[in-house]
Structures are given as C-alpha cells and as structure tokens.
C-alpha cells in the first residue's frame, strides 16, 4: 500500500480502494485510487469527490474495467482535478486512461504508466475489441490528445504494454508535469516546500503589478499550468489566462499590489495551497478611474522542482473596494457630458463621472445623429456647451428617422 503511514476513512468499490486522505478540511483535498478497477467504481469515485471544487488524485492500479477507467477520467476532467503517479507505483491500462484526464497530469521519474489496446476475454484468452478501442479513441480525442498520442495508447496488443516515460510524453505532445523525488510524499522537509511556495506567490503577485503587458505575458506563460481554475472559470486553458491578464493590464496600466505580512501555506506532497491578504490599487488613466482596496487570495501550486511551481488554481474575494476619479475636476466634466448625453437620449449608461465604453459609444451616436465631430478621447467645457445647444432627444429622433427610412 502506498499510503501505509496514513489512517483512512475509506470507501470501497469492488477491489479498488477509493478514499480521501486526511485531514478532511484540507484546502486542497488529496484522493487515492488504489487497486484493480471494477465496474461501478466510477460511482464510488463520483461520491467521494462530490463536495470538492479542486483536488489531486493519486493513482496506483494495475488496471481493470475499461468503463470505470474512462468514466473516472471523465469525472476528473469535468471537475478539473489533477492526477499524480508517484515513484514506486504503477498505473496501467484503465488506470492510465483515468490518469490522462488530469488537469494537470503529473508523475515522478520512476513511476510506471502503461497502456495497451482494449480487449475482451473469451475462453481464457484476451482478444482485442474494436468497439472498446473506438471508445478509448473518442475519450482521448475529447481530452485533446493528438493522433500520434492516441495511436501510442491503443496500438499495443492485449499482452503488451507501452510505457509512457517523461521523454516519450514530450515527444508525443502529451503534457505531463514531472515531479522531482524531493516533492514525493516522503519528503522530510515540508516546511521548506511551504516557505518556497509562499516566496513564489509573493513574488508572483507583487512583481506582476509592476510588469508591462509583454513582461506579464511571458511570466504567465511560464508560471501557469496548461489548464487553470481561474477566478471561477473551471479548466481554463493557459492561453486564455494569459489573454485575460494582458487585457487587465490594458485596462489598468498603472497598478500596485502589496501582500500583507506572510501568507499561510499548506502542502500535501507536491501540491501547495497559499492564502493571504493583499492591498491593491489600479488606475485607468484613459477613463479617469482609480480602484483600490484589499482582497483575500488563494493560489494552488504544483511543485515543479528547483524552487519553481506551476499555478493550477487562482481565486480571490474582495474584502474592501472603492472606485473614485483620478482627477476630480475632469470627473465633473465627464459627469456633465454624461448628463447631456442622457438628456439627448444617447444612452451613456450611469451618470457617474467615469468615461467608459458606453459613454464613448453614446458620444459617437450623438456625432452620427447631428453630424458633429466631438472627440470621445478629449472632453472639455466646449464639449458640454455643444451638447447643451442641442434639443432634447437628438439621438432618439435620429434613430427614429433611420428606422422610418428603412421601412420605405
């Protein structure tokens, strides 16, 4: 048994043991699937993981039921759980199919992960089944594996085994995180791992507030996992996380962030959850807006070795947040422009002194309705005077005229 040092409250389905490792209130739950998979084990697994939003699944199994392996893999992918096979253990056949569902997938260098074609037994002999291989192929396609990877998984016969090593995974384009032995469950220095995780998160968050778009993009591409649970979005591909960060920097080019004190970290084997509080401020100069406040954050990391980590989950909740104008005199001009646009029926949105996309679009509608060329990028008292000179409902009347002409 690979977890002999622990005492479990276990749920058993057939020959496989499926359980959550203590402590039960761990920020990032760790689950164990060990032993031969039998039909129905997928339902036990579904029940065990039913109340958690994130987690890591440790796998150690010689294989078993194709249905159980595929369905467990689907549940893992649906819930955005990570999968790990550690040194000294094996995950073969149906187990390996379940492991492929992980986000991220991870293994230690001496772990054994193996595949072969689906088969049925008749008269004591194993016979490859086309129907079973078709199911496997469809499952792997949904996971995003390429043709070469699918061929590798399904080509070996029932009496053969294709071992997936880290090098072979890279060659086939199967994304796998290789965990160094120092990150194994038997690691004698968990405090050192927690300290390294805290240092990584503090540097990641504070340095990010000083980076330009290009720097932030490079940093994100090297620090986030292939898929990330990102502020409520499950299993978001890394490229979308990078795009979201770049868009935020575009909206708020001036930013600052300071982590309060020392965050707390809890590590289970190679996975760490780091939580804390940070104070932030951001300015959108083009919109004359300053946002400031504090947030409670939690980042979940997978140890990549040599002091590096990969972020697999990132969330935060605002404790305090205020929005105010950077230049109050400019904000008053904006407010007056918004009031006039609202009077004219141009739909500027809230009259709040914040020059956003809706207000800019409203001024463009006014220009179109009246034939003027007021700049949406440079407001002044003369902008207000021009708007005041127009009669109520200028935009509404223009829209009505266009509609009437289109009906002719």
Domain with residue 253: its CATH number is 3.10.450.50
The token pair at 203 is 């540097």
2 in a domain, yes or no?
no
pLDDT at 12: 39
Q: Are residues 288 and 373 in the same domain?
A: no
Which residues of the chain, if any, have pLDDT below 50? 1-14, 25, 182-188, 400, 403-404, 407-408
> How many residues are recorded in the chain?
408
Q: Is 16 exposed, middle or buried (0-12, 13-18, 19+ CB in 10 A)?
A: buried
209 in a domain, yes or no?
yes
Q: How far apart are the first and last CA of the chain?
A: 81
Domain range holding 223?
Answer: 183-325
The token pair at 388 is 């005041």
Last residue of a domain, one of 294, 325, 356: 325
Q: Are residues 96 and 187 in the same domain?
A: no
**CB under 8 Å to 285, separation ≥6 — which residues?**
253, 254, 326
pLDDT at 11: 39
Distance (Å, whole) CA 54 – CA 105: 14
pLDDT in tens, 27-80: 678 899 999 999 999 999 999 998 877 789 999 999 999 999 999 999 998 888
Q: Are residues 14 and 153 in the same domain?
A: yes
Backbone φ and ψ for 116, nearest 5 degrees, come out as -155, 170
Distance (Å, whole) CA 57 – CA 408: 66
Distance (Å, whole) CA 304 – CA 306: 7
Within 13 Å and on the Cβ side, how many CA atoms surround 313? 23
pLDDT at 288: 82
Last residue of a domain, one of 299, 325, 351: 325
Task: Give the residue from 108, 110, 99, 89 showing the smallest Cα distance to 4.
Answer: 89
pLDDT at 180: 72
- pTM exceeds cut of 0.75: no
User: Residue 112: helix, strand or coil by DSSP?
Assistant: strand
Q: Are residues 190 and 165 in the same domain?
A: no
pLDDT at 144: 87
354 in a domain, yes or no?
yes
Q: Are residues 314 and 340 in the same domain?
A: no
pLDDT at 27: 65
Cα–Cα distance list, 22 to 2, 51, 108 (Å): 15, 15, 22
129 in a domain, yes or no?
yes
Q: Are residues 212 and 285 in the same domain?
A: yes
Last residue of a domain, one of 286, 309, 325: 325
- State how many domains the chain has: 3
Omega before 23 within 30 of 0, i.e. cis = yes
Omega before 104 within 30 of 0, i.e. cis = yes
Q: Are residues 168 and 248 in the same domain?
A: no
1 in a domain, yes or no?
no
């Amino acid at each position: 048994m690979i977890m002999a040092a622990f005492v479990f409250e276990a749920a058993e389905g057939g020959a496989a043991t499926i359980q959550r490792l203590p402590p039960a209130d761990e920020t990032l739950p760790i689950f164990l699937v060990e032993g031969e998979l039998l039909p129905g084990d997928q339902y036990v697994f579904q029940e065990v993981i039913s109340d958690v939003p994130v987690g890591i699944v440790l796998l150690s199994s010689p294989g078993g039921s194709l249905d159980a392996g595929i369905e467990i893999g689907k549940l893992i992918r649906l819930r955005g759980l990570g999968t790990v096979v550690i040194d000294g253990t094996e995950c073969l056949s149906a187990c390996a199919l379940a492991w492929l569902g992980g986000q991220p997938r991870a293994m230690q260098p001496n772990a054994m992960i193996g595949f072969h074609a689906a088969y049925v037994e008749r008269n004591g002999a194993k016979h490859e089944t086309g129907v079973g291989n078709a199911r496997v192929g469809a499952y792997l396609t949904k996971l995003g594996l390429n043709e070469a990877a699918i061929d590798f998984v399904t080509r070996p016969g029932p009496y053969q085994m294709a071992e997936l090593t880290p090098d072979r995974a890279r060659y086939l384009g199967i994304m796998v995180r290789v965990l160094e032995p120092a990150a194994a469950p038997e690691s004698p220095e968990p405090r050192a791992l927690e300290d390294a995780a805290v240092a990584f998160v503090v540097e990641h968050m504070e340095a990010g507030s000083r980076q330009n778009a290009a720097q932030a993009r490079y940093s994100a591409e090297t620090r986030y996992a292939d898929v990330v649970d990102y502020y409520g979005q499950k299993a978001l591909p890394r490229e979308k996380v990078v795009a979201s960060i770049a868009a935020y920097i575009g909206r708020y080019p001036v930013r600052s962030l300071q982590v309060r004190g020392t965050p707390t970290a809890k590590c289970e084997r190679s996975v760490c959850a780091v939580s804390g509080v940070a104070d932030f401020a951001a300015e959108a100069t083009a919109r004359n807006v300053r946002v400031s406040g504090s947030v409670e954050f939690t980042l979940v990391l997978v140890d990549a070795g040599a002091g590096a980590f990969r972020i697999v989950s990132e969330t935060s909740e605002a404790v305090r947040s205020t929005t105010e104008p950077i230049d109050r005199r400019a904000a008053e001009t904006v407010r007056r422009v918004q009031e006039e646009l609202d009077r004219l029926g141009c739909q500027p949105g809230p009259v709040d002194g914040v020059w956003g996309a809706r207000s800019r679009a409203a001024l463009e509608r006014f220009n179109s309705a009246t034939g003027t060329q007021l700049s949406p990028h440079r407001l002044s008292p003369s902008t207000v005077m021009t708007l005041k000179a127009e009669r109520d409902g200028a935009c509404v009347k223009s829209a009505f005229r266009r509609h009437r002409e289109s009906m002719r």
